[in-house]
Amino acid sequence: MRYEAPKTLEQAIALLAGANGRARVLAGGTDLVIQMRSGRAEPELLVDIKGIPELRSLAAEAGGYRVGAAVTCMELIEHAAFAKAWPGIIDGVKYIGSIQVKGRATMGGNLCNASPAADSVPALIAAGAIACIAGPKGRREAPVEEVVTGPGKTTLAGGELVLSFLLPRRQPRSGDAYLRFTPRSEMDIAVVGAGVNLTLGAKGVCSAARVSLGAVAARALLVPEAAAALLGSKVDAAALERLAAAASAACRPIDDKRGTKEFRIKVAGVMARRAAAIALERARGQN
């Protein structure tokens, strides 16, 4: 196994493209190193992308933010302005393992590892984040919900990697939140995750909403029916109950060691409702 740490994107893409699918991108490594140790991943080439400045930058852009795919979770958490604009994404990022893991882990890695339970992904989907992808054929953009297709599987073509995420300009009176359910208070993998992003109109009526669920299907889901339950409402108890029902109805979970199907379906609604209540509070606080 070879290790390369290119300094430019072009070099990285050339390395990846030249490896016939036997290369893996190394960002934070918090998933990949474990997979290599257990024998689940046996790459011939590791391309460490942390030396490429564009992947490591976090900057304002077009009234929103562009977050490099290799920015670590801790760097994101410590970025006060970003955290104020997108607290729901910070919720998701904070759940990614311990402080130690967050010191290395990245949102790019969290997405491309393609686990249905990735904590930052529903928050990014709810936020309407756009992934910027680069490859041998140049750059393209894709909504985050279109990057992952199933456990361990993405739409990234050979030689492609995720460069950054673009978070749009924040509308006034907007708030987002991500909540997940785990048996322990920390350190677990989400049994269910729910991201909610909403905007309130002048009279407190919900004018825009996006809802995303994690760990309830083969990939994180964007659930328009759940968002529809909020739209036009004052996000009152009745709307929240409709949201919960729509979220539960959207689940296509499996039984596994972390939870049963029926538990996930029930708790998905609960998490969506509770996340929406937090998002509402945040939207009201952002006048």
Contact set with other proteins (CB under 8 A) = 1-3, 5, 26, 28-30, 33-34, 36-38, 46, 48, 50, 72, 74, 97-101, 103-104, 181, 183-189, 191, 244, 257-260, 263, 266-267, 269-270
Distance CA 30, CA 4 (A): 18
User: Shortest distance, CB of residue 267 to other proteins, whole angstroms?
Assistant: 5
Cβ-based nearer residue to other proteins, 10 or 256: 256
User: Shortest distance, CB of residue 19 to other proteins, whole angstroms?
Assistant: 14
User: Shortest distance, CB of residue 285 to other proteins, whole angstroms?
Assistant: 22
CA distances from 58 to 91, 141, 209, 284 (A): 18, 18, 25, 27
Cβ-based nearer residue to other proteins, 131 or 244: 244
User: Shortest distance, CB of residue 207 to other proteins, whole angstroms?
Assistant: 27
Cβ-based nearer residue to other proteins, 9 or 36: 36
Sheet with 58-61, strands from edge to edge, namely 58-61, 64-68, 161-167, 130-135, 138-143
Cβ-based nearer residue to other proteins, 74 or 127: 74
Cβ-based nearer residue to other proteins, 5 or 218: 5
CA distances from 103 to 133, 225, 229 (A): 24, 36, 37
Query: CA torsion 147→149→154→157, rounded to 10°?
Result: -90
User: Shortest distance, CB of residue 98 to other proteins, whole angstroms?
Assistant: 2
Distance CA 210, CA 89 (A): 13
Taking a C-beta distance cutoff of 8 angstroms, is the pair 27, 67 a contact?
no
